[in-house]
Every structure is written in C-alpha cells, then in structure tokens.
Amino acid sequence: MSFQFAWPWLLLALPLPLLSLQLLPRVAAEPAAALRVPFLPLLGASGLLYGAARPARWRRVLALIAWTALVVAAARPQLLGDALQLPVTGRSLMLAVDISGSMINEDMRLQDRQVARVTAVKALASDFLRRRSGDRVGLILFGREAYLQAPLTLDRQTVATLLGEAQVGLAGKETAIGDAIGLAVKRLRDQPEQNRVLLLLTDGANTAGAVDPLKAADLAAQERVRIYTIGIGGESRLLQTPFGVRRLPGGDLDEGVLRNIAEKTNGRYFRARDTAELAQVYETLDAIEPASEDKLIFRPADEIYVWPLALALLLSVLSALPAVWRWRPAVLTHGEARDG
C-alpha cells in the first residue's frame, strides 16, 4: 500500500493566497465618497462592514488550513494497492457463432453421446475461450440477423457464459453470414491492424441478410481482419422416425464460400465433422494465433480526495459561524427598537 497524487501539479496553487496579498493592490483606507447610513452601528456589530473589524487570527488560520485541504483534494490523493500482473496480448478476437435453425441437428458426438451441433460448439468454444489468456474477446450471434452479444472484453468468463445461454432460433431460422462478418469488421476496425481476428462458425450457406459474404470478406481484407471459418456438421445425420432410424444428409454447408472468405482475408478454412475435429481446429488456432506470456502491471487505486474536501468544508463552516452568530442578535435588537 502506497500513497500518491494523481494530479500533483495542482499543488502549485498552494501559495496563491500569500501571492495575492503581496501582489494585488490594497484598497484605499479612506473612500473618496461616503454615504450616511442611520443603522451604521448595526452593520458594524454584525461584521458586514468591510474593515469594521479585522478577522481574528484563529479565523485566518482556519482559512489557511481549509485552502490547503481544498488544494490537496483537487490534486486527487490516492492509496495504491499491491501490484497485479495481467496477461496481455493486444489481440482482439471476435467469435461469430451461427444459431440458425439447422444448428439443432444432432449429428455431433460429445462424451460418447449424440448432441446437437450448437451444444458441441458451446462446450468446445468455452474451453477455447478459457485458453485465450490475454486476448480481448467479443461474441456475435447470428441467424437471419446478426447481433452483438458481447463487446470486446478481457472478461472471457462472461463471454463463455453468454455463449452458453444462446438459444437456437433466437436470431431467426436462416443464416446471414455476410451480415455477421460486416458487424465483426465494424467492431474490430478500431483495434490495431495486426491483431484483428474473426472466428466464424456456421453449418450452412448464406440464405439471408443484406450483405453478400464475399463482399463482406473484401471489406474485411481492406480493414486487415483475418477470418478463420469453420464448417460445422457431419456428412449425414440420423433421424429417429416411427418406421426406424433414417440417415439424412448433413446439411447445405457452402464450403466453397467459406474457403473463399478465409483466403481473401489471409485466414484458413476448417471442416469440423465431429467434436474431435472441432477440438483439433481450436488447437490449430492456438498455434496460429498463440496467446502471449507478456504481463501488464496494474495497481488498483482508491480515491481518498473526499476526506480533505470534507475537512475544507467543515473548516469553512466553523469560520463563518461567529459572523452568523453576531448577525442574529443584531437583527433582533433592531427589530425591537423599531417596534418600540
């Protein structure tokens, strides 16, 4: 624990009262004009006449201490906590996850059981996020529309929680890949050029949205955003019917478009037919875009300016109390004299 001023240069204002006494011209002792006031003794007794009574020494001391406390408060005194080390890479990773209707298809295996595509993505993506120590991570969910679920943040646990709470069909049943890329580019363009990364997971083709996926990829290339595309889903899926189990095609995944998107942006395309391949994709991404071991030193600061500010206010009130006390009896005496 240590002490510091956030704005120490404001302490230069401490000698201003003394400088004003030395440099400012004094008021003339005898005014050029005078006004006859019938209640002059009343004003003198209340202390309202300038020069009627010189302030007592203790009041001048209180004013000096109050000024010092006020300047100290303006300089923002702080108590610094122990230094904390935060891992930092500077990389900004936006995760865009497809939650269209087809992501409910159960053609992925997780821990020896058949699960929906979205369930596998949530489980493995959460583990991937936990390993991205030091990255600023954001989350986009898209179906017929694309929505920013979490802005870029170092709080990877919150991003993983929001991904786990996503529901299939929440953004519509169709797939707007181009809109998702466009939204990601908008959120990444303010980040350093060498650290803009988009990870796009989808199981279908672009069937909705206002932006063509390849045109969105061109925009991403102009903004120096690297896109890694991942095609989710098996070649076929099993469907239980009243007449037995039927094997159906896995879906309408447009691998050609996903591959072109990756090539245009200096990224890579991955195919994940099951959870083992998806886990391998994440391991490959860790190697391509490694997390850094660099550390950022951070010291939490506790602002304590409120204490000298409160002291200045208290001393100001104490200094003004004698004048207020003299004024009240003087007014009553004048009122009594008038009534009489």
116-174 pLDDT, tens digit each: 888 888 888 888 888 887 788 999 999 999 999 999 988 889 999 999 999 888 888 89
Is 136 inside any structural domain? Answer: yes
* Residues 108 and 193 grouped into a single domain: yes
Both 279 and 315 in one domain: the answer is no
Are 221 and 109 contained in the same domain?
yes
Q: Are 86 and 295 in contact (CB under 8 A)?
A: yes
User: How far apart (Å, rounded) are the C-alpha atoms in residues 97 and 281?
Assistant: 15
Judged against a pLDDT cut of 60, whether residue 34 lies above it is answered with no
User: Do 96 and 58 fall within a single domain?
Assistant: no
3-state DSSP of 219-245: HHHHCCCEEEEEEECCCEEEEEECCEE
Q: Are both 288 and 307 inside the same structural domain?
A: no
> Per the domain annotation, does 284 fall within a domain?
yes
Q: Is residue 30 part of a domain?
A: no
Rounded to an integer, the average pLDDT of 209-213 is 91
Q: Could you give the angle at which helices 117-131 and 156-164 cross, rounded to 10 degrees?
A: 180
Residue type, 6: A
Specify the length of the chain in residues.
340
Last residue of a domain, one of 257, 279, 294: 294
What integer pLDDT is reported at residue 326 of this predicted model? 59
Q: Which segment of 44-58, 91-105, 198-212, 236-250 scores lowest on mean pLDDT?
A: 236-250
Most confident option among 110-124, 252-266, 298-312: 252-266
Secondary structure percentages of the chain, helix, strand, coil, to 5: 45, 20, 35
The rounded mean pLDDT for the chain is 79
Claim to verify: residue 134 and residue 280 sit in the same structural domain: yes
Spatial separation of the C-alpha atoms in residues 129 and 94, rounded to whole Å: 11
275, 294, 313 - which closes a domain: 294
Which tops the pLDDT comparison, 29 or 66?
66
| 70: its two tokens | 């006020």
Q: Are 130 and 235 in the same domain?
A: yes
Phi-psi region of 145 (alpha: psi -120 to 50; beta: other; left: phi over 0): beta
From CA 95, how far away is CA 130, in angstroms rounded? 13
Q: Are residues 94 and 177 in the same domain?
A: yes
- Residue that is last in its domain, among 294, 314, 330: 294
Residues 286, 201, 209, CA angle at the centre, nearest 5°?
Answer: 145
What are 236's two structure tokens? 């076929």
The domain tally of the chain equals 2
One domain for residues 178 and 279: yes
Whether residue 29 lies inside any domain: the answer is no
Distance CA 246, CA 148 (A): 37
Which range among 152-166, 285-299, 310-324 shows the weakest confidence by mean pLDDT?
285-299
Range name among 56-70, 113-127, 282-296 with the lowest pLDDT average: 282-296
Residue 148 β-bridge partners: 140
- Nearest Cα neighbor of 74 from 13, 3, 19 is 13
Q: Which sign, positive or negative, has the C-alpha torsion 168, 270, 240, 207?
A: positive
- pLDDT band for 277, please (50, 70, 90 cuts): confident
Q: How confident is the model at residue 88 (pLDDT cuts 50, 70, 90)?
A: low
Is the pLDDT reported for residue 65 higher than 80? yes
Q: Quick one: which H or E segment has residue 255?
A: helix 255-264
Q: According to the per-residue pLDDT averaged within each range, which of 169-183, 231-245, 281-295, 297-311 is highest?
A: 169-183
| Residue 22 included in any domain | no
Q: Is there a single domain that holds both residue 230 and residue 260?
A: yes
pLDDT band at residue 214 using 50, 70 and 90 as cut-offs: very high
Q: What is the CATH number for 127?
A: 3.40.50.410
Residues 305 and 245 occupy one common structural domain: no
Radius of gyration of the chain (CA): 36
Q: What residues make up the domain containing 75?
A: 2-17+37-81+301-339
Indicate whether 108 and 211 sit together in one domain: yes
